[in-house]
Chains A and B, each alone.
Chain A
Amino acid sequence: MQSVQFEAPKTVDEAVALLAGAKGNARVLAGGTDLLVQLRAHIIDPSLIVDIKKIDETRSFKKNRDGSYTIGAAYAGAEATERDDITKDWPGVVEGWDLIGSTQIQGRASLGGNLCNASPAADSVPAMVAAGMTANIAGPKGRRTIPVEDIAVGPGKTSLAKGEFVVSFNLPARPKGGGDAYLRLIPRTEMDIAVVGCGVALVLDANGTVTSAKVSLGAVAPTVLVVKDAAKAIIGTKLDDAAMAKLDAACQAAAKPISDKRGTVEYRTKIAGVLARRAAKIAADRARSQ
């Protein structure tokens, strides 16, 4: 256990310089709800902690003129829930984000932290992926923007290079006829890690036919999955029983879970299908009520 340097830079460039120049293991502190647990349990032993919350860009939240959003990486779920704009446009994204842990956790837990902790069960990620969000990354070589699903590469592992960190996210404007939802299965009603999570974003035309869809599953593989066959199963349908059965089957087929203290392979596989059906229905109801 080594002594830890702590820095709270005010600019992105300072943060990048600190992270890039760190000897040993440097960690980014956003909401801290995973980092501090790992620090206390001696799972990590960093030499440097960089608190990014003094950087305005990580704490900002902006609805752009075109209806899209730019969301700071350290913006907390509880803060998002208190807004009228995003909760109306992207309720599924907010649900996933603000389901993390308790009220206390929700007051701190951020999209950036939840994503970069790279847990396959991260609640915010399936809805972010389904909504087509991208992450704005700053690093020693400048800025780049990549889809959210390209960040985590395995449990606890990200594609970020040394010195890089996620500064903010882009959330597209809600399409006309669009709706999204996130559902998870937990043994209790709160406080658990998702046994399975499912995000669905879809667009309905005036007849109620699905014109586009993205379905994402959490906790059934080493990373959050994008299930293209699941989207295919419902595109062009009115979510009739046959389409729902295909959606269910596609999600079950895509799921490659493990058995652990939170669930079995068999259970997770079945639940992936159940949640996909239920989330699709909620997303469609939301699309219709828009």
Chain B
Amino acid sequence: MAKHHVSVTLNGEPTEFLCSTRQTLLDVLRDELNLTGSKEGCASGDCGACSVTVDGRLVCSCLVLGAECEGKSIETIEGMADGEKLHPLQQTFLEEAALQCGICTPGVLVAAKSLLERNNNPTETEVRYWLAGNLCRCTGYDKIIRAVMKTAAEMRGGA
């Protein structure tokens, strides 16, 4: 059957794409729009490497159909920095060495940003449960959790 013509706002820009019914939002981002920052680690919603927000809600883009996204606003890792200026989370992740191989990092950052937008003063437990769907096999999560909490503190201080 014919492909679906879908119009979205992607990282603030009006964007159109064509997709088949079976293509997920992740497939669309990676294969149709060449935005490979969102990663596929499992294709079943278990690893979180494909995390994006749709209308401000954190989701796994592997569990969203491209065809569902008509009219939606989508934010990906590629939209996180403001031009050359990194988002505070990105900067803190670099300073705190909160990444090793880096494959989970885009998803973790998108998820952490979504947390801090809702809760600017999360406890360690809240950060850990919020990020429980973002698997990281390298770091043991320690430096990730610290970086998120440190960024939250800095953003509160700067506000």
Contact = CB atoms under 8 A, between A and B. Distances in A.
B63 A33 contact: yes
A101 B51 CA distance: 14
B21 A108 contact: no
A20 interface: no
Interface stretch (B28-36, B53-61, B95-103, B146-154): B53-61
A40 B46 CA distance: 14
B17 to A, nearest CB: 14
Nearest to B1: A3
A250 to B, nearest CB: 32
A8 B70 CA distance: 10
Interface of B: 1, 4, 20-22, 24, 43-46, 48, 51, 57-60, 62-65, 67-68, 70, 111, 114-115, 129-134
Nearest to B114: A103
A6 interface: yes
B68 A39 contact: no
Contacts of B114: 103
A85 to B, nearest CB: 18
B22 A4 contact: yes
Interface string A31-48: 011001101110000000
Contacts of B59: 104, 107-108
A189 B132 contact: yes
Nearest to A32: B63
A3 B133 CA distance: 31
A51 interface: yes
B23 to A, nearest CB: 10
Interface string A132-154: 00000000000000000000000
A4 B58 contact: no
Contacts of A190: 129, 132-133
A159 interface: no
A78 to B, nearest CB: 7
Interface in A18-68: 29, 32-33, 36-37, 39-41, 49, 51, 53
A105 interface: yes
A87 interface: no
Given A104-B133, A189-B132, A36 B24 contact: yes
A5 interface: yes
A191 interface: yes
A102 interface: yes
B124 to A, nearest CB: 13
B133 A6 contact: no
- In the A-B complex, list the 10 residue pairs whose CB atoms are closest, starting with the nearest: A102-B133, A190-B132, A4-B21, A6-B21, A107-B57, A104-B60, A6-B67, A36-B63, A37-B44, A104-B133
User: Which among B45, B60, B68 has the greatest number of chain A C-beta atoms within 10 A?
Assistant: B45
Contacts of B115: 103
Contact of B132 (A36, A102, A108): A102
Nearest to A82: B118
Contacts of B45: 33, 36-37, 101-102, 104-105
A104 B51 contact: yes
A146 B46 CA distance: 33
A101 B63 CA distance: 12
B105 to A, nearest CB: 16
A191 B133 contact: yes
Given A102-B60, A104-B60, 5 more contacts: A5-B21, A6-B65, A103-B58, A103-B129, A190-B133
Nearest to A46: B21
B133 A101 contact: yes
21 contacts: A4-B1, A6-B21, A29-B65, A33-B45, A36-B24, A37-B44, A40-B24, A40-B62, A51-B68, A102-B46, A103-B58, A103-B111, A103-B131, A103-B132, A104-B48, A104-B111, A104-B133, A108-B64, A190-B133, A191-B46, A191-B133
Count chain B CB atoms within 10 A of each CB in A33, A40, A41, A103 and give the residue with the most: A103
